[in-house]
Amino acid sequence: MLEIQNLKTKIENINNTQCTLENQKSNEEVCEQKEKNSNVVIICNDKELIKNQNIIQMTQMEFLLKNEKERKAFEQICVYKKGIHISKLRKIMQLAGEKAIFFESAQELLSFINAMEDKNENRSN
């Protein structure tokens, strides 16, 4: 448990340092823009499941190591259950709350993402 907390702290420090190094003058703008662009996240074992620039893909451990503020920034959390242990799925469900949507097949996930993209395109037109 202590080891996980130490890893979380190290990752937070790395993320903070990275934002600072990217552009010190507009550090807040850069970090805020990244949060705005990352409305949807897909949690799965295969990080190459969907090729879409508007969607962040991460492994279960990457998600579990995110702090609460970062997890709350996500509008939608899609979880592709294949290959993820039931205990990790329960933990993801607990941390994600009502934002989590679980998918049994890649086809279901792809159709959901496509429908969501169509909905966003209609809003912008």
How confident is the model over 65-90, as pLDDT tens digits?
999 898 888 888 999 999 899 999 99
Q: Is the pLDDT of residue 26 over 60?
A: no
CA triple 47-50-53, angle to 5 deg: 95
DSSP string, the chain: -HHHHHHHHHHHHHHHHHHHHH-STTHHHHHHHHHHH--EEEE-S-TTS---TTEEEE-HHHHHTS-HHHHHT-SEEEEE-TT--HHHHHHHHHHHGGGEEEESSHHHHHHHHHHHHHHHHHHH-
Report domain extents, the chain: 1-36, 38-124
Reported as a pLDDT band with limits 50, 70 and 90, residue 125 is: low
How confident is the model over 109-120, as pLDDT tens digits?
888 888 887 776
Q: Which CATH architecture has domain 38-124?
A: 3-Layer(aba) Sandwich (3.40)
The answer to pTM > 0.75 is: no
